[in-house]
Amino acid sequence: MLLARFAPRLGLPEISAALRPTSGQDLRRFEAAFAELAGQAEAVAFPYGRTALLLLLKALGIADLEVLCPAYTCVVVAHAIVHSGNEPVFVDSQGHDFNMDLELAERMVTKRTAAMVATSLFGYPVDLDRLASFHRRHPQVVIIQDCAHALGATWRRRPVQQEGIAAFYGLGLSKPLTSVHGGMVTTDDQSLARSLRDLRQQMISPPSAWDTLRQRAFLLAAWAGFNPNLYGLVNWLERRGELDRLASYYDEEAIDLPADALVAMASFQAAVGLAQLRRQEELLARRREVARIYDRQLEGVPGLRLPPLVEGAAYSHYVPRHDRREQIIELGLRRGVQMGRVLEYAIPELSAYRARPGAVNPCPEAAALARTVLNLPLWIEPKQALWVARMLREVVNEIC
Ligand SMILES: *Cc1c(COP(=O)(O)O)cnc(C)c1O
């Protein structure tokens, strides 16, 4: 048995949603429920989060300009900016949480800066007060929120997605809410939503029967593969590099989008997403509960820096930091717990980005995060979390 660092919370509601006959209304229903949950007027679905950002930049008419973007975030965000015909300009992280340093971002605004992607990384809410004051001083810079980790996150009781022109979400299997693959934009701007739907109509093609079959097979494989009894095999294959071709979502050298980046979400995926939305409160409460257990149980472990305690965090991940991460991961595996690295790179250091004009500023905080963050399982039972915490304490004591 091996405890996976991550597993999609797919239960009977999702699997039966995936197997039921679909209707032409699934997508519209998913969008309506998503908009309601986000507390925004409109939600528009896309094949991936990155596609959502790409079309958002196009709908806003932003081209051949600069977009401020965290140095420490998922690399596909930068890919989408490049594919929109703009230049990502990377901003280092701040020390006290994982998010982009907004003061630094402000110093990097130029005449060509058209937008900023503000991310609530790992579910830690962006400081909406700072974001609003940034926007007051630079009204020409459009603020787009990346809420791929942040559905349910609040800043001073205010849902993060509600500041800025629009927010986008990734709904892949590794996200806290999934539609197998998928993306979403939420906004209160009706005319922007209209432009997005028009662009989607022009640029996104409906899935073929083969596309839909592939997505269904992917869902069932993931459901089976994350079963704790089989996960040891998956991990063994992964370590041998056998899954790289299937699972690796980025290539160090290339700035590319997946072949199906412009193929619409299938109806059954919207049904799965809707089933997940209905469990959103329950899933969020579980992650917060397990995070609280880690917060208490891991206090004082030598060299382990715990994530900050932030009111309103949505805990897409629980990420303590340790300088001897690699050894800890190795020893954890031997004891039956897989811990991960989540984001093990700072984007400006990747070879595809190193030489780009937006990557010239040093990003020491992002680089340090990339080297030290550990990803502990949050999807587990509270009892298992106690066990994981005890294991981690023992492992760290063994090496320190
Ligand atoms: C996954 C992710 C995205 C992109 O979502 P996709 O659906 O994979 O394109 C964007 N931002 C962050 C922070 C993510 O983790």
pLDDT along the chain (400 residues), means of 10: 82 89 94 98 98 98 98 98 98 93 97 98 97 97 98 97 97 94 98 98 96 90 76 69 57 87 96 96 96 97 96 96 96 91 94 95 96 94 95 93
Q: So what's the pLDDT on residue 8? A: 84
What's residue 158's pLDDT?
Answer: 97
**Which residues neighbour 322 within 8 Å (Cβ) at sequence distance 6 or greater?**
303, 304, 305, 328, 372, 374, 396
β-strands 166-170, 142-146: how paired?
Answer: parallel
Instruction: Give the long-range contacts of residues 132-138, CB within 8 A, separation 24 or more.
Output: 132/163, 134/102, 134/105, 134/106, 135/163, 135/164, 137/106, 138/106, 138/109, 138/113
Nearest-angstrom CA–CA distance, 366 and 384: 31
Tokens, residue 243: 């899954």
pLDDT at 95: 80
> Does the C-beta of 145 come closer than 6 Å to ligand 1?
no
What sign does the CA torsion over 20, 23, 28, 29 have?
A: negative
pLDDT score at 140: 97
Q: Which two tokens stand for residue 179?
A: 């539609």
Predicted local distance difference test score (pLDDT) of residue 224: 81
Distance 48 CA to ligand 1 centre (A): 8
| 79 within ligand 1 shell (Cβ under 6 A) | no
Q: Which atom of ligand 1 is nearest to the CA of 50?
A: 9
122 lines ligand 1 (CB under 6 A): no
Beta bridge partners of 146: 119, 168
Structure tokens, 2: 């091996």
d(CA 93, CA 71): 7
**To which H or E segment does residue 282 belong?**
helix 280-297
User: Given the DSSP bridges, would you call strands 42-46 and 183-187 parallel, antiparallel or unpaired?
Assistant: antiparallel
